[in-house]
Amino acid sequence: MIHLSLKHKLILYTYIFIIPIVGSISAGLFINDYNQAKVEATEQCLKEISILSDSVVGIRDNLVTYGTYITINEEIKSILSASDVDTLNNTAQLWYTHAPMKVLEDMIALETTIKTVALYPENRVTPYLRCFDESSYLAAEKIWFTREYIRSLSSKGAYNFTRVEPFGNDFYDSVRSPKLVLYREIYNMSRTRPLGYLCIGASTEELDNLCKNLVSTESEAVCVYGISGGEFLSVQGNKESLNLILDNNSLTLEDMKDVNEFDNCLLFTHKNDDFVVAKVVNKNEFYKSLINVLWAPLTLLLGILLGMLPVLMIITNNIFKPLTILTKGMDEFKEGNLDLKIPVTSKDEIGKVSETFNDMVSGMKELINKNYILTLKEKESEIATLSAQINPHFLYNTLDSLYWRVIDTGNDEIAEDILALSDLFRLVLGGGERYTTVETECEMLKRYLQIQQMRFGLNLHYDFKIDENVLKESIPKLILQPFVENAVVHGFEKGQEDFTLTVTASIAVSKLFFEIKDNGAGMSDEELGNLFKEDSRQYRAERVGHFAIKNIKERLEILYKDDYSLNIESTKDKGTTVMLFIPLKGSIYENTDR
């Protein structure tokens, strides 16, 4: 008895379950694709012969246009209706003198398909016979006894079409190439008296080529059948297959349906008022081409069966691998590794066990380190409190003394600068508070820029655009001042002669929006890209710079997690723009223990 591992059993059972399902899907796809391909192939054949039918109608309409021009021309009708036949017959170049035949011939010269034009008057006036190739028409005494002439009389002025071969025809005494002939009898207005017999011959080359283009195999045939004359105007391809259909069936082409199925072939037809266009296709070849759709579902079936093996191997490995990692992690934890974190790659039961194990390790580590960390925080808090109590008191008293001494000397300008410095320290320290209002933060920025203006004079310009609706909004202290100071120090101190700084505060997309924009020295793309990548220890000795900006970014991440946006755009020698979006007041207190 063969013993299989759990992994191999899983693979075997999967194959037993999936093969019938995939086989049914493949069979369904084959049937659907086969039927769809059959419909598309049928529609393609019908579309091809429909286009051919439109082309045949175009050829007919072109010949009818010239025929209509001749039959309605009054000068031509005058000759056909004339009674003084002898006088007309004695006129030199009768048809060019009394009729616009020169104009007609110029028109035909532009139409390369028309090769012959003949007009036989019933009053026995000399007929107009014009051939543009090497053909020659029958004489008048012969034309009146032809079958086609008699048919034209019975048609009562309707146009008829026929195909004329180089031998045995009712139109030409001599013709070297096949012609598609339009003919009709011209009557008077009341259609009571025939006036003349019109014949226009055109080359069949265009029509034959159109039919040939639809023949793709030796077994196919394409034809154009004239309904009025009951004859083929063009047959190309395997004529025997077409004759076999017509000989073995009582129906004519004009009685056939659009799609007709016979023992060995299919017949597609398209009918209009004058013509039937048909295409014969060998049934075996037609359906054989559809069998190609079988490859798609077969490929799908084989692809799934062959592709399942590596997929199943990966799946089983993914199932057993987390168990192995979890076991190894437990062994490391037993050895005292409290920094251990098992990767969680799924949300299933194994993933939940791994998450629970990670939570347990983190909880135990937190319990071990809690007292030590709390002690450090308490010490830091005591130092910060002591500093906040001693430093402001000393600074305020000193600056207050300097202010009144300068007032006594009468130097009000310096006194205002000292007062601004005093206000700046008061606002910056703020009794050790971590948060302030937009109004207070902007007031602090104004005091800072006032002091900087003392250094740079009128070369430094600044403007505040603060929406009144945001003045009382609560924000973290000193999240704007480092950007302003950075703009002055790096943008203005390093060469800018005329420096402008604009601070904007408003509400945008339900958030507080701040923009600090200057026209200073700016930064290159490389400097801008490295702004948050440098080691902060490199900048701890500087007044401002990347360290302060990195500090702001870290504070924002702690306070708002992902619910903020900080974007800095800068162009070398053109300036820098800082754009900051933070939540409206209330969001801070939800994320802190203040």
Average pLDDT for runs of 10 along the chain of length 594? 58 68 67 76 90 92 92 92 88 88 89 92 93 91 93 90 89 92 92 93 93 90 88 90 81 84 88 90 77 64 69 65 73 74 74 78 71 49 44 56 60 62 60 78 86 76 91 88 83 70 91 92 81 54 54 82 89 90 66 43
pLDDT number for residue 351: 72
Calculate the alpha carbon distances from 192 to 146, 150, 154, 156, 188 in Å.
Answer: 22, 16, 12, 9, 7
CATH number of 460-594: 3.30.565.10
DSSP 584: P
Residues 6+ apart with CB under 8 A from 11: 309, 312, 313, 316
**Residue 558 structure tokens:** 């702690």
| Three-class SS state of 522 | coil
Helix or strand (DSSP H, E) at 182: strand 179-187
pLDDT at 378: 46
Query: What is the pLDDT, as a whole number, of residue 430?
Result: 56
Q: What are phi and psi of 128, to 5 degrees?
A: -95, 115
DSSP H or E segment with residue 384: helix 349-409
Round to whole Å and give the CA distance between 288 and 179: 38
> At 569, is the secondary structure helix, strand, or coil?
strand
- Torsion angle of alpha carbons 406, 411, 417, 421, nearest 10°? 0
HSE toward the beta carbon, residue 200, CA cutoff 13 A = 25
* Beta strand extents in 291-332 (DSSP E only): none
The helix/strand count (H/E) of the chain reads as 18, 19
Assign residue 496 a region: left if phi > 0, alpha if psi is -120 to 50, beta otherwise? Answer: beta
pLDDT of residue 254: 81
Question: What's the distance, Cα to Cα, between the start and end of the chain in Å?
Answer: 71
> CB under 8 Å to 446, separation ≥6 — which residues?
462, 464
**pLDDT score for 181:** 94
Across 277-307, b (16+ Cβ under 10 Å) vs e yields bbbbbbeeebeeebeebeeebeeebeebeee
Query: What residues does each domain of the chain span?
Result: 46-283, 460-594
Q: Which residues of 214-235 are buried (b: 16+ CB within 10 A; e: fewer)?
A: bbeeebbbbbbbbbebeebbbb
Which CATH number is associated with domain 46-283?
3.30.450.20
